[in-house]
Each structure stands twice: as structure tokens, then as C-alpha cells.
Amino acid sequence: MTKISQDISLIITTYNNPAFLELILKSILSQRLMPLEVIIADDGSTYETRVLIDSYRKFFSVPLIHSWIPDEGFRVAKSRNKAIARAKGNYIVIIDGDIVVNKYFISDHNALKKIGYFVTGSRARLKEEATINHCQNKDERFDLFSKGLTRRLVMLRIPYAHKFIKGHSGLKNARSCHMAFWKDDFINVNGFEEDFEGWGFEDSEFVQRLYNNGLKRKNAKLMAPAVHLYHKESNTDNAINNRRILEETINSHKKKATKGILQYLDSSITNAIK
């Protein structure tokens, strides 16, 4: 019988890409340790995504929750905040809707979690043709030797050697496409900043506020392997304005988002952390 974590809620962001989402859901079904729940943070997908999620519920031994917001542009911060507000786990693992995970993904994050720290993970990259093939075949399986992979060394899983590799620090490669943190820490910084418009720097700004609150970073090197499926780059029209928000957070040592998760939480929780 597959074990279920009593601590970890897994959050998956998605937007109108059921082919990718299906591969991700299949990879979660193969976990050696299942999360307490899986919450899909949906930034306004159409009916096809809802049908897919509904069809997969019967295969899951844990709740598969669809947290949907209307499509009003790129609002991944809001979709994540609302999903995490619903989470019952006290530890949150988040992945983007283009990340397929190894069967030890959740168990590795369970081993990596530590009070006072957040975790950032790496991912191998799958080329366009290979991504198309895996989607057509509904094949979620990847290993070090899979065709079409770049950065394939990320697929190495050597837990006992993890402690000998420090990895990146600061904001370098701190991406919310593969990240984990305590829910209390997330609430304490007021989650993701919803003042960002469009793609760019919302994850770096979130990480900077974690640093501003005294948290330290761990890297999941040689653990929690994952694969990034190929897709066209996001629109970066708002990147300059978003970079300005990040720089303001760095320069002012800002600790809490102006508009974040607190608006979705019970008042007793928000009053307790003010």
C-alpha cells in the first residue's frame, strides 16, 4: 500500500494545457509517497481541463482538488495564493504545469523539509519533438537516458551525496516552477505578490521576501528529479515593470506582499500573524 504524507500539499499551476497536466497527474500517481492532497491552481482554463481532472479523481487515493479562477490574464500569483489558502498540509510543494516528476519526488521533498528553510529544485529540459511524442503517447516516464533531454544530469538521484553539493544561493535559479516551503512561512510573507502583471520576476520577489524574513535556502541537488516539458516562451511585455517591483523589495527589505494570500484566509489566522 502506498504511504500518504500527513504534511505535504502538492500545488500544480495550469492554464489550458490538459496534455501536459495529464502527464503530470500520471507521474504523481506513481509516487512512492503520496502527498496529503493535490491541488490544481488553475488560472482560468476552459472546460477540457475540468473534464480531465474529474476523470482522474477515481485513480487518486488522496483528494484531487480543482482550484479555478476566471481567465483575466496572467494571474499565476492569485491562482497559487487561492490554492494554497485551501491547503490542509503544513508543508507546500509547488510545481508549474510543465513539470513532470520522478516517482521519489514527494518522498525526497519530505526528507528535505527543515524548519527555517525553503527548498528550490532543478529540472531537466525536454526538447520540442520529444515533448510532442510523450504527450501523444501519454508517457510520463523519464530517466537519465530518455531521448530528447538536455541538462539530463538533473535526473541523477543520489540522496546520500546531496549534502555534499551546496547549489545556488541568492536569487539565482530560484524558480517557483519547483519549490517547497512551510505554509506558515508562506502566510507570514503574505504569499505571492498579486501586484505583478504578466510573466516575470514574481517568483524572485517572493524568494527575496523569504530571505528578508530570515529564511535560508536549500537546493534539492541529486534529489527530487523533474522534467520541464517544452513550450514556447511566455510573453515578457511586462518584465521591465515587474523587475522594478523586485528591485523595490530588495532595496526596501520588504517582508510582506502588498496583496497576497491573507485576503483569502480566515480572519482569525490573519489577525494572529499581524
The answer to whether residues 110 and 36 touch, using CB atoms and an 8 Å cutoff, is no
User: Residue by residue, what is the 3-state secondary structure of the chain?
Assistant: CCEECCCEEEEEEECCCHHHHHHHHHHHHCCCEECCEEEEEECCCCHHHHHHHHHHHHHCCCCEEEEECCCCCCCHHHHHHHHHHHCCCCEEEEECCCEEECCCHHHHHHHHCCCCEEEECCCEEECHHHHHHHHHHCCCCCCCCCCCEECHHHHCCCHHHHHHCCCCCCCCCCCCCEEEEEHHHHHHCCCCCCCCCCCCCHHHHHHHHHHHCCCEEEECCCCCCEEECCCCCCCCCCHHHHHHHHHHHHHHCCCCCCCCHHHHCCHHHHHHHC
What is the average pLDDT across 63-74?
94
Chain centre to alpha carbon of residue 132: 22
Does domain 3-273 correspond to CATH entry 3.90.550.10?
yes
The proportion of the chain whose per-residue pLDDT surpasses 90, expressed as a percent, equals 82
Of the pLDDT bands very low, low, confident and very high (cuts 50, 70, 90), residue 169 is confident
Q: Which carries the bigger pLDDT value, residue 241 or residue 6? A: 6
Q: Tens of pLDDT along 233-264?
A: 766 667 888 899 999 999 999 999 999 999 99
Q: CA 255, 179, 200 angle in degrees (round to 5)?
A: 65
Prediction pTM value: 0.94
pLDDT of residue 273: 46
| Residue 9 reports pLDDT greater than 90 | yes
- Residue 251 CA to residue 245 CA, distance in Å, equals 10
Q: Tens of pLDDT along 13-57?
A: 999 999 999 999 999 999 999 999 999 999 999 999 999 999 999
The answer to whether residues 78 and 69 touch, using CB atoms and an 8 Å cutoff, is yes
Domain boundaries, the chain: 3-273
The answer to whether residues 33 and 62 touch, using CB atoms and an 8 Å cutoff, is no
pLDDT of residue 87: 98
Chain centre to alpha carbon of residue 45: 18
Mean of per-residue pLDDT scores for the chain: 93
- Residue 194 CA to residue 22 CA, distance in Å, equals 28
Of the pLDDT bands very low, low, confident and very high (cuts 50, 70, 90), residue 267 is low
- Residue 42 CA to residue 250 CA, distance in Å, equals 29
Measure the N-to-C terminal CA separation of the chain; round to a whole number of Å.
43
| Residue 2 reports pLDDT greater than 90 | no
| Residue 274 reports pLDDT greater than 90 | no
